[in-house]
């Protein structure tokens, strides 16, 4: 195996940070971030594209043609197109999804956002989610990037996690605690 086997999170963050710094120099962070989200969405929604990226037999010129075609079709920022071409030339296109996701995280961190997870037993309305987000923003004195999920298995209540802080008010958790106490008794 080649040295690519050990491509770490550190390597991905270096590439993503380089992309961020280039985008910042060109005053195009917001546009590059939006286009990056489109590429990530394309990778997750297209099995063909995802397979193409991960196919070790794909040739550089084939990969470059695909990048150009996608760039034209989605009208990608030229900086992002050059960056993707650079990844191909450095034989790092296999890791493009990891690098682009790290880039999105970098953008979020640079804006001072904190990631938060909200899991609710019932489907929440948009205004309820926004109220929770506003309350978290006040409590943590920082912008919150909230990821919301619905999980009926919780029976009732919420689970909120901001960084390493977690609040679990779900009925499922309370039942689990009662079960554990009964087992200990």
Read off the pLDDT of each residue in 4-21 and give the average, rounded to a whole number: 82
What are the distances in angstroms from CA 51 to CA 54, 96, 183? 5, 12, 48
| pLDDT at residue 3 tops 90 | no
The candidate with the shortest Cα–Cα distance to 133, out of 116, 112, 151, is 116
User: Residue range 150-171: average pLDDT?
Assistant: 92
In degrees and rounded to multiples of 5, residue 15 shows phi and psi of: -65, -45
Residue 73: band (very low, low, confident or very high) from pLDDT cuts 50, 70, 90: very high
The CA distance from 77 to 23, in Å, is 10
- Quote the tokens at residue 38: 């489109």
Label residue 77 by pLDDT band (50, 70, 90).
very high
Tell me: pLDDT of 14 over 70. yes
Question: CA-CA distance, 14 to 33, in Å (whole number)?
Answer: 16
Question: What confidence category does residue 7 fall into, taking pLDDT thresholds of 50, 70 and 90?
Answer: low
Q: Are 96 and 87 in contact (CB under 8 A)?
A: yes
Dihedral pair phi/psi, residue 117, rounded to 5°: -120, 130
Token pair 């760039």 in the structure block, residue: 71
According to the model, what pLDDT value does residue 6 have?
Answer: 55
16 or 141, higher pLDDT: 16
Look over the chain and give the mean of its residue pLDDT values, rounded to a whole number. 91
């Amino acid at each position: 195996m080649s040295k690519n086997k050990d491509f770490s999170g550190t390597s991905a963050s270096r590439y993503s940070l380089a992309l961020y710094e280039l985008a910042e120099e060109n005053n195009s962070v917001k546009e590059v971030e939006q286009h990056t989200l489109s590429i990530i969405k394309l990778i997750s929604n297209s099995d063909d594209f995802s397979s193409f990226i991960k196919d070790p037999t794909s040739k550089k010129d084939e990969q470059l043609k695909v990048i150009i075609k996608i760039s034209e079709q989605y009208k990608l920022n030229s900086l992002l197109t050059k960056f993707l071409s650079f990844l191909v030339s450095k034989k790092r296109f296999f890791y493009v999804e990891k690098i682009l996701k790290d880039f999105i995280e970098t953008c979020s961190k640079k804006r001072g956002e904190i990631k938060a997870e909200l899991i609710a037993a019932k489907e929440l309305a948009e205004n309820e989610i926004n109220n929770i987000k506003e309350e978290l923003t006040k409590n943590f004195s920082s912008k919150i990037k909230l990821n919301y999920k619905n999980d009926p298995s919780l029976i009732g209540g919420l689970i909120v996690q901001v960084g390493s802080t977690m609040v679990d008010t779900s009925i499922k958790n309370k039942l689990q605690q009662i079960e554990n106490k009964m087992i200990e008794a």
